[in-house]
C-alpha cells in the first residue's frame, strides 16, 4: 500500500508512521528525518539545509524532491510522511500511483502543547512525548538506548513560522487530493492509541475495496 500522510506540524505524522511501519511493514519515507540526517553529517549541503529548517521554512525543492524520489525508488509499499508539502511537490509525483492520502486534523492549540513535550532520538529517530508517549527510562530511547533530545525547530518562534508555512504551502494539498478522490480526513486530536486505531481501521476498509 502507498500512503501519504498530510497534517500540520505536530499533528502526529511521525507517530502514526511508526505504527504503520510496525503493524503493516510499510517503508517510512520522511524528508524531515533525511534532511536532519544530512544536517547531522555537517556536509556542505547539510549546512545549507540547516538554515531553512532552523527558521521553520521549507527546504528548497532542489534538495528535497530528488532525495525523496530516490528513496521511493521501485518500492511497492510505503508511507510518505511530510511529502509532498506544496502543490508544486505534489505535481512532481503525480505519475506515482498512491492508494490514499490521510490528513491528520488537529486544532493548533492541541499541537502547541505536543511540541513542548516532544523528545526525539537523534540516532534511530524514534519519537516520544514526556506525557503521552514517555520512554520507559526518562530521557533514554527505548529502542537504541541513545539520550533523547529536543529538536531545535521546536522552539516556539520557529513553530510559529512552521505553521505559517503550513497554511500557505501545505494546506492547499487538502483540496488538491480531495479533487483527485484520494483524501481521507481523520480527527487526530485524541490520544495516540485512538488515532492509530482509527487510521488502521481506515486502511483495513480501503484494502477491502
Beta carbon nearer to ligand AP5, 157 or 207: 157
Q: How far is the CB of 54 from ligand AP5 (least distance, A)?
A: 8
Is 178 one of the annotated active-site residues of the chain? Answer: no
CB-side exposure of 190: number of CA atoms within 13 Å?
9
Beta carbon nearer to ligand AP5, 12 or 101: 12
Determine the residue with CB nearest ligand AP5.
Answer: 32
Is 119 one of the annotated active-site residues of the chain? Answer: no
Q: How far is the CB of 208 from ligand AP5 (least distance, A)?
A: 26
Residues lying near ligand AP5 in the complex (CB under 6 A): 7, 9-15, 31-32, 35, 52-53, 56-59, 64, 82-83, 85, 89, 114, 117-118, 127-129, 132-133, 153, 162, 188, 191-192, 195
Q: How far is the CB of 189 from ligand AP5 (least distance, A)?
A: 7
Q: Of the listed 13, 36, 114, 119, which one is catalytic?
A: 13
Q: How far apart are CA 24 and CA 32, in angstroms?
A: 22
Q: How far apart are CA 113 and CA 85, in angstroms?
A: 23
CA angle 145, 149, 155 (to 5 degrees): 165
Beta carbon nearer to ligand AP5, 125 or 183: 125
Is 85 one of the annotated active-site residues of the chain? Answer: yes
Q: How far is the CB of 15 from ligand AP5 (least distance, A)?
A: 3
Q: How far apart are CA 133 and CA 22, in angstroms?
A: 16
Q: How far is the CB of 186 from ligand AP5 (least distance, A)?
A: 11
Q: Of the listed 36, 114, 118, 119, which one is catalytic?
A: 118
| Residue labelled with grid coordinates 485512538 | 194
Beta carbon nearer to ligand AP5, 93 or 206: 93
Is 149 buried (19+), middle (13-18) or exposed (0-12) by CB count in 10 A?
middle
Is 151 one of the annotated active-site residues of the chain? Answer: yes
The DSSP-derived string for 167-206 is IIIITHHHHHHHHTT-EEEEE--S-HHHHHHHHHHHHHHH
Closest CA to 2 of 90, 86, 77, 92: 77
- Cα dihedral sign, 99-16-86-109: positive
Distance of CA 32 to the CA centre of its chain: 7
Beta carbon nearer to ligand AP5, 23 or 207: 23
> Which residues are part of the catalytic machinery?
13, 85, 118, 151, 162
Amino acid at each position: 500500500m502507498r500512503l501519504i500522510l498530510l497534517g500540520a506540524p505536530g499533528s502526529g505524522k511521525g507517530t502514526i508512521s511508526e505504527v504503520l511501519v510496525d503493524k503493516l511493514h510499510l517503508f517510512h519515507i520522511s524528508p524531515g528525518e533525511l534532511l536532519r540526517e544530512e544536517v547531522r553529517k555537517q556536509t556542505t549541503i547539510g549546512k545549507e539545509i540547516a538554515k531553512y529548517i532552523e527558521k521553520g521554512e521549507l527546504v528548497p525543492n532542489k534538495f528535497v524532491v530528488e532525495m525523496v524520489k530516490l528513496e521511493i525508488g521501485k518500492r511497492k509499499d510505503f508511507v510518505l510522511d511530510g511529502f509532498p508539502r506544496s502543490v508544486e511537490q505534489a505535481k512532481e509525483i503525480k505519475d506515482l500511483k498512491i492508494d490514499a492520502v490521510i490528513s491528520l486534523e488537529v486544532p493548533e492549540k492541541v499541537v502547541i502543547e505536543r511540541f513542548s513535550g516532544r523528545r526525539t532520538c537523534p540516532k534511530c529517530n524514534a519519537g516520544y512525548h514526556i506525557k503521552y508517549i514517555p520512554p520507559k527510562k526518562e530521557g533514554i530511547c527505548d529502542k537504541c538506548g541513545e539520550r533523547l533530545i529536543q529538536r531545535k525547530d521546536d522552539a516556539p518562534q520557529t513553530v510559529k513560522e512552521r505553521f505559517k508555512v503550513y497554511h500557505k504551502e501545505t494546506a492547499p494539498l487538502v483540496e488538491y487530493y480531495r479533487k483527485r478522490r484520494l483524501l481521507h480526513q481523520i480527527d487526530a486530536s485524541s490520544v495516540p492509541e485512538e488515532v492509530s486505531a482509527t487510521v488502521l481501521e481506515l486502511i483495513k476498509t480501503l484494502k477491502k475495496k
